[in-house]
Structure 1
Amino acid sequence: MPLPLNLNWCDHAQMLGSRVASTSRREVHNIPSSCLYKRIRDQIALYLLSWYRLHTEGRCQQSGTAKRVSESGTISYPFLYHSEMGDAMLHVANLSTMLSCMVLKLPQIFLLTKLKSTKGVSLRALLLELTGYIVFVTYQMSYEYPLPTYMEYPVLISQDTILLFLILHYNGNLRQSVIYSTMFVGGWQLLTRQKWILDLAMSLCTFISAGSKFLQLQCLWESKDSSRISALSWTMSTYTCMARIFTTVMTTGDLQVMARFIVMTALNVWVTATVLYYKQGGKKLD
């Protein structure tokens, strides 16, 4: 009998789960299937059964992420069935992302300190990027997401802070650092006050981060000079976003987070290509 269409997600799961609750996940997974339709049906049944079990245990989170903490302290996501290969790839992606982010902004920092000029580097883009990082890491921590999925962001925030001070210093506006510091600390305190404020900020986070990329692109288009911008930093940023798409699919499955990384990947590729284009143009002029 088909499920009614006027029920919400957990109600669907509960109805289906009540029909197959006596069947173990392994038994459902091993149902002989000779056609694609039956295999898809079995996977959907497994997915909904997992949601039903979480619902009855009172562990469906409002953030849209289904997760369960086992007695051993590990977090399992019942709608994903990891193989040893998948787990190994997940660990590699998390580790490589963390290592990349530890040095991601260093080429840009070294370049600014060497040239002592910020031409082509957008201060407004950096401020928006820093805002997006703070919102994102606060959201991840608030909903108790797995630490490996966001542990690089405190490092990125510290590196962006150093970049901010360098830009203000070379622009002769170092006193403004007090104002920006107060704004960021106050904004972070506001995010932790109410869940709805954090959810609203996270829904705007993609637009905030995308805005920072467009501001950097605009700065490049106006100056037509990327000699003070590190292509290596932007290349590593592109890789880390691509890796985070994979880790999000393999862990939280949060569509809002995934959409952010997809948009960021596309824009990072655009900025990287623009930086390389103007660097090649500068070499030709020389």
Structure 2
Amino acid sequence: MLLNILNIMAVAPCFVAKVPQILLMAKTQNVRGVSFESVLLDLFCYVNTGSFSYYQGYPIFQYLEYPVLLVQIIFICLLYGHISSRRMRSYMWLIVFLVQGYSFSFIPKHIALTLIGTNTVIGTLSKVAQISAIVKSGTSGNVSFTAYFFNFIASSSRLSSMILSEIGEQIIRLNFLISVIGNAGVMLAIFIYRPVVHHKKE
């Protein structure tokens, strides 16, 4: 029962995890404080784990959050390119990630696990890049706290689910642990650098 609840909590938030960020960028038409490098690094990690899990024949419910998140982060990548008038850059990177995902269909498992192992470092760098972008711009007004909160809940639930069910590679569990810590760090940065609203005196 607990395991089923954790699996649902791991997947459910992912269906809307990036939506607040998408809506915020679409509303402000501004990418200040949003790290494109972080978007690319997230794409790398999602493609890695999602493709590995698919081609290794894992139960779909054990990795459903990755294809769901992938669709949303692809949309963010395209939206970033549109707002920053650098669409071609976004297209080229998405082609690279498409090739990356397909490569998991033929590379040996030990090489695939090595690539998965890089997620620990890449995932950390992704969060560091986003925190750095917020600090550098001096504002988190264009970065959604809700998006990272959803990711925090999903990663925490998936990590707990994998530990209880004893399913999944150790390196994937470590990746989820890093994701939990990283999302908490970004949320803290968003809170610290939130825009100050000045109320007009009547």
Contact preservation (8 Å) 2:9, 2:153: no
In the comparison of the two structures, how many residue pairs are matched? 197
Change (3 A) 1:181 1:284: closer
Q: In the alignment, does 2:116 pair up with 1:202?
A: yes
Aligned to 2:39: 126
| TM-score (normalised: structure 2) | 0.92
1:187 pairs with one of 96, 100, 103:
100
How many angstroms does 1:257 deviate by? Answer: 1.3
Aligned to 1:45: none
State the alpha-carbon separation in 2 of the partners of residues 158 and 257 from structure 1. 21
Change (3 A) 1:104 1:111: same
| TM-score (normalised: structure 1) | 0.66
Q: In the alignment, does 2:96 pair up with 1:176?
A: no
How many angstroms does 1:213 deviate by? Answer: 0.7
Q: Which runs of 5+ in 2 are unaligned?
A: none
Aligned to 1:106: 19
Q: Deviation above 3 Å: which 4+ runs of structure 1?
A: none
Q: In the alignment, does 2:161 pair up with 1:267?
A: no
Q: Which runs of 5+ in 1 are unaligned?
A: 1-87
Residues 77-156 of structure 1: pairs in structure 2 closer than 5 A? 88-156=1-69
Aligned to 1:240: 154
TM-superposition CA deviations, 1:94-117 (whole Å, max 9, x none): 112222100111111000000000
How many angstroms does 1:193 deviate by? Answer: 2.1
Q: In the alignment, does 2:168 pair up with 1:256?
A: no
Question: What one-letter code is carried by the residue in structure 2 that aligns with 1:208?
Answer: I
* Higher helix proportion (structure 1 or 2): 2
Contact preservation (8 Å) 1:191, 1:197: no
Aligned to 1:215: 129
Aligned to 1:78: none
Q: What SS is found at the alignment partner of 1:225?
A: coil
Contact preservation (8 Å) 2:14, 2:65: yes
TM-superposition CA deviations, 1:25-57 (whole Å, max 9, x none): xxxxxxxxxxxxxxxxxxxxxxxxxxxxxxxxx
Q: What SS is found at the alignment partner of 1:175?
A: helix
Question: What one-letter code is carried by the residue in structure 2 that aligns with 1:177?
Answer: S
Question: What one-letter code is carried by the residue in structure 1 that aligns with 2:149?
Answer: T
